[in-house]
Amino acid sequence: MSLPRPARILGLWLPLTVVFVWGLFALLGLWLPLDPNRIELPHILLPPGEDAWLGYDDLGRSLAARVAAGAQTSFVVALWVVMISCAIGTVVGTFSGYVGGGWDHATVRVIDIFLAFPGILLAIALAGILGPGIENVVMALSVVGWVGFARLARAQVLSLKHREHVQAAIALGAGTTRIVFRHLLPLMAAPLIVEASFGVAGVVIAEAGLSFLGLGVQPPEPSWGSMIRDGARYLLMAPHMVMVPGAALMLVVLSVNLLGDRLRDRLDVRRT
C-alpha cells in the first residue's frame, strides 16, 4: 500500500531540506557571521528564548553558532571519510573479484579480520593511537570504512564478470583496464552510491562518538559530540545543552538514511 502523495512529498522534501541546510552551513560556515567561541558571561546557561534562539552553554557561548559550526566539522569528516573509503574499497574489491585466485582469498581473509572487530571499537583504538584531531579522525574512520565498500565491490564484480557483454569484450581482445572502466564500474556505480549514502550517516555518528570520548575535535572547536559531552554535566539544570546538538545529530542522520532509502528504491533496476 503506497502512501498518499502529500505524505510522499513531505517524506522527501523534509530530509532534503535538512541535508541542504547541513551542507549549506558546512560550505558557507567560513563566510557566515558566526563566532562560536565568543563568551558572554551574563548569558551562562541561558535557555532558548526570544534573545537566544537555541540558548547558551556553561561558558556563555551561543549554541546556535556552535551547532552551525559543528555542522562543518561533521560534514567535512563525513565527506572525506566516505570518499577515501569508497576509493580504497572499490579498488581493492574490484581487483580481488576480477583477478581471483590467491589474491582473492588473501583479500577475503583481510576483510574477515576487519569484520571480526566492531568498527567503532577499532576506530576508537586507532584514534587513541594516532591522537586527537580531525585529520586523525578521518584516517581512523577511513581504515575502518573501506571494508564495506570492498566487500560490495567484490560481490558485484564476481556477478558481473561472467555477463555476456564482459565475455564478448574479452573475446574481442579488450584489456583489463577497458573492461573494468567501461563494462564493470558503470554497472557497479548504483550500489556503491547507495552504500556511500548510508556510510555518511554512519560516519557522522562515529565522529560524534569519538568527539564525545575526547578523541575527535579538541576544544574550543565545536563538535556535536563534544557539545553533548559538555552538556551532560548540566543535564538537570540546562537540558538544552544536550537536546540542541542531539536534535541536530538525530535530524541529519535520519534525513541521510531516508534519502539513502529513496535513492536505493530509485536505482533498483529490478523494481523499476
pTM of the model: 0.86
> Percent of the chain at pLDDT above 90?
25
- Distance in angstroms (rounded) separating the CA atoms of residues 141 and 91: 18
pLDDT digits (tens, 9 = 90+) for 41-96: 888 888 888 777 888 988 889 898 899 888 988 999 999 999 999 999 999 998 88
- Distance in angstroms (rounded) separating the CA atoms of residues 51 and 244: 16
**Exposure class string for 137-146: b at 16+ Cβ within 10 A, else e:** bbbbbbbbbb
CB 69 within 8 A of CB 76: no
Say what the pLDDT of residue 27 is: 80
The CATH architecture that domain 71-267 belongs to is Orthogonal Bundle (1.10)
Confidence of residue 271 (pLDDT cuts 50, 70, 90): very low
Say what the pLDDT of residue 252 is: 92
Say what the pLDDT of residue 147 is: 92
Burial of 122 (0-12, 13-18, 19+ CB in 10 A): middle
Cell for 150? 570492498
Confidence of residue 264 (pLDDT cuts 50, 70, 90): confident
Residue 22: which of 267, 259, 262 has the closest Cα? 259
Q: Given a cut of 70, is residue 272 above it in pLDDT?
A: no
- Rg, the chain, Cα only: 22
Domain assignments of the chain as residue spans, ordered by start? 71-267
pLDDT digits (tens, 9 = 90+) for 187-231: 888 889 888 988 999 999 999 998 898 888 888 888 899 999 999
Cell for 179? 573492461
- Distance in angstroms (rounded) separating the CA atoms of residues 69 and 82: 20
Q: Given a cut of 80, is residue 34 above it in pLDDT?
A: no
What residues contact 198, with CB distance under 8 A and at least 6 apart? 256, 257, 260
272 or 2, which is more confident? 2
Mean per-residue pLDDT over the chain, rounded: 84
Confidence of residue 7 (pLDDT cuts 50, 70, 90): very low
Say what the pLDDT of residue 11 is: 62
Say what the pLDDT of residue 149 is: 93
Question: Which residue is it, cell 552553554?
Answer: 57
Say what the pLDDT of residue 1 is: 45
- Could you count the other beta carbons within 10 Å of the beta carbon of residue 256? 23
Average pLDDT over residues 143-153: 91
78, containing H or E segment: helix 63-99
> Percent of the chain at pLDDT above 70?
93
157 or 25, which is more confident? 157
Say what the pLDDT of residue 10 is: 52
Average pLDDT over residues 137-143: 90
pLDDT digits (tens, 9 = 90+) for 159-197: 888 788 777 877 877 777 788 888 888 888 888 988 898
